[in-house]
Structure 1
Amino acid sequence: MIGKLFRTGFVAMLHAIFSLSVAAAPGPDPAPMEHARLLGALQLQGEVFHVQGLALGPTRIWITSVDHGTNRAWLHEFDRATGRFLRRLELTDGVRYHPGGLSLSGGSLWVPVAEMRANSSAVLVEIDAATLTVRRRIAVADHIGCVAASGDRLVAGNWDSRLLYEIDLRRGVPVRVVPNPSATHYQDMKFVGEQLVAGGNTSWLSGTVDWIDTRTMKLTRSIKAGSIGPVRPFGRGGPWTGEGMAIEGRELYVLPEDGPSRVFHFELDA
């Protein structure tokens, strides 16, 4: 979805062309995200397209991507230890071919698949993480670009995450809709207890990772990030917050590049 924010213009073009030399330099920026230390990066050994989301299991990595050349949506699975490609599942649903930020909860992967336009439609797909078979689908009358799952509830962001929907899975309907408390266009979000941790872009060269109290839907913490390199069509990078983000305790993982992609691993300050 970072491509949605890309704006042409002479100054931006010069900036992007200049940044190509940075993107081509060996190794990542040693300090690309505030209050975080880069620990390493895992190269993914398989094809992904325009990356949309990242989820982690004990031994697996799941990534969503959209192939704009064929208008098809994909879920990719990789080995977490080696980055080796394992399998993939097509998620295309007619005019809905934009898979978004995804979430793992209780053995299920939740993936939104939406039309490629605002104020449209989406389906929230529950997928068995072990078999990659579809368990159920929930229709939503809006574009949904990311979703976080915890127990019987989901929080989903619409186009640029202007609105956040809280969905009761026992009824399959939204029970609350609130404005995004941040100016960041969230691309991926995860539950951490009662906190929602969400990452996304503020421009095509910067982004943030935010913490939101889900009881009040108020912003409690935010860290800023720059860019790994220019976005398409000049490159394959974007803000370090990435189109994919996952978190485990103080360990933050981001996926800022289209394929060939690397999962970057950070340790957050206490």
Structure 2
Amino acid sequence: MYHPGGIDFDGTNVWIPVAQYRPNSSAIIYRVDAATLDVHKQFEVKDHFGGIVMDKQTGHLVGNTWGSRRFAEWDLQGKQLSTSENPNYFIDYQDCQYVPSSKMLCDGITNLPQTPAAGGAGATYELGSMAMIDLKSHSVIRDVPFQQWSTAGHVATRNPFKMTADGNHLSMKVAPDNGDEGNGTGTGTEKQDSEKRHPASRRVAFHLGNNHPVARISRTKVTHSPVARRDSV
């Protein structure tokens, strides 16, 4: 097993699923102490799990399988407490982060085939999206398309992301590109107050849920740095 998926930080530990790079396989859930960087093998699971979050209300872990077709919930010893099918076929989630209370915010991508005029079967369109999921009911509260691209031409929600809030303003950091691509791996930052520094930035708006205000953000300059490759999970 060599393929790390979407990680989560609970304030003390970093939780990392490491799986075989194929569906319907297996994975190991690791816990890394953020202070000492000691690595602990927590438990094994009999499927490819490419993302994980800790529900801070219950203390349980929630993971998503290859293509995000199924969710599973475990206690910290690896006992499976529940499993549920993903009701959303809009996108395959790539990374998720915990949102109080008992929710998770996920980004993802779907590759759509193109018309003959746009390249036909040999061409695809990357449809990106963000989704808010209720960890209690396993229902999708809200999902919205997210169409911002990297300099390599990939949708921003193709790989890992991190969303932070400052009052009514949201900032989102993404790393959509693979390190072996011609343009390298770009890490981009989306934030509301960047327009003062980058007045030419294009403004976009998206809504994350009933309890979240509409966040108007403007795209900042994309900088490049090497990060580990993250593929579909």
TM-score by length of 2: 0.66
Secondary structure at 2:35 match in 1: coil
1:160 equivalent in alignment to 2:81: no
Q: Which entry has the higher C-alpha Rg, 1 or 2?
A: 2
After superposition, give the CA deviation of every residue in 1:39-88 in whole Å (9 maximum; x if it has no partner): xxxxxxxxxxxxxxxxxxxxxxxxxxxxxxxxxxxxxxxxxxxxxxxxxx
Q: Residue in 1 aligned with 2:140?
A: 219
2:31 counterpart letter in structure 1: E
Q: Residue in 2 aligned with 1:177?
A: 83
1:250-261 map, 5 Å: 250-259=170-179, 260-261=185-186
CA positional deviation for 1:238: 2.3
In 2: Cα distance, 1:127 partner to 1:163 partner: 25
More displaced stretch, 246-255 vs 206-215: 246-255
CA positional deviation for 1:130: 2.4
CA positional deviation for 1:131: 2.6
CA positional deviation for 1:135: 2.8
1:32-43 map, 5 Å: none
The gaps in structure 2 that reach 5 residues or longer are 112-124, 180-184, 193-205, 207-213, 216-233
Secondary structure at 2:145 match in 1: strand
Q: Residue in 1 aligned with 2:200?
A: none
- Quick one: structure 1 residues 162 and 266, their matched pair in 2 at CA, closer, same or farther if it must change by over 3 Å? farther
1:253 counterpart letter in structure 2: K
In 1: Cα distance, 2:18 partner to 2:153 partner: 22
Aligned residues: 169
1:205 counterpart letter in structure 2: E
Greater length-normalized contact order (CA 8 Å, ≥ 6 residues apart): 1
1:119-198 map, 5 Å: 119-151=24-56, 152-169=59-76, 171-183=77-89, 184-193=91-100, 194-198=102-106
Q: Residue in 1 aligned with 2:10?
A: 105
In 2: Cα distance, 1:255 partner to 1:213 partner: 25
In 1: Cα distance, 2:126 partner to 2:190 partner: 20
Q: Please, which of 126, 146, 153 is the counterpart of residue 205 of structure 1? A: 126
CA contact (8 A) 1:227 1:237 kept: no
More displaced stretch, 106-115 vs 239-248: 239-248
Question: RMSD of aligned C-alpha atoms?
Answer: 2.0
Q: Residue in 2 aligned with 1:238?
A: 154
The gaps in structure 1 that reach 5 residues or longer are 1-95, 230-234
TM-score by length of 1: 0.58
After superposition, give the CA deviation of every residue in 1:191-246 in whole Å (9 maximum; x if it has no partner): 101211111112251111100111111111112123525xxxxx955221131022
- Quick one: structure 1 residues 98 and 237, their matched pair in 2 at CA, closer, same or farther if it must change by over 3 Å? farther
Secondary structure at 1:262 match in 2: strand
CA contact (8 A) 2:173 2:187 kept: no
